[in-house]
Homo-oligomer: A and B are copies of this chain.
Amino acid sequence: MTISIEKMADQFKLLGDKTRLKIVSILNQQDMCVCQLVELLQTTQPNISQHLRKLKDAGLVREDRRGQWIFYSLQVADHPHLQDVLQYLPKLEEEVQQKINSMLCE
């Protein structure tokens, strides 16, 4: 269960991008599919997909196809140093959070 300092740096590097940190923050609330993240973060689909791939390669998210959609969920159980960080994530912009809330209700 030991991790090298180099690998730990690589994981922080993943969180060191505003788009990815927002994705993490959103997935910390609720599983989402790519198209939902695209809408929430107002960027292009390939952009989101590429960020998700990096997170997946590092084992921080998990994908789960449900028909046409692929849902992503946070997978930090075995990354205690990241898990601990989640509680400090700032709130997203009101507008984005409202969209998320409306998704939660559906």
Name A residues whose Cβ lies closer than 8 Å to a Cβ of B: 2-6, 8-18, 20-22, 25, 80-81, 84-85, 88-90, 92
Contacts and interface: CB of A to CB of B under 8 A. Distances in A.
B21 A90 contact: no
A37 B18 CA distance: 30
Contact of A81 (B14, B18, B80, B88): B88
A16 B82 CA distance: 13
Number of copies: 2
B90 A80 contact: no
A12 B21 contact: yes
21 contacts: A3-B90, A5-B22, A5-B25, A5-B89, A5-B90, A6-B18, A8-B21, A8-B88, A8-B90, A9-B15, A10-B16, A11-B16, A12-B12, A12-B21, A13-B16, A13-B17, A14-B16, A81-B88, A84-B84, A84-B85, A84-B88
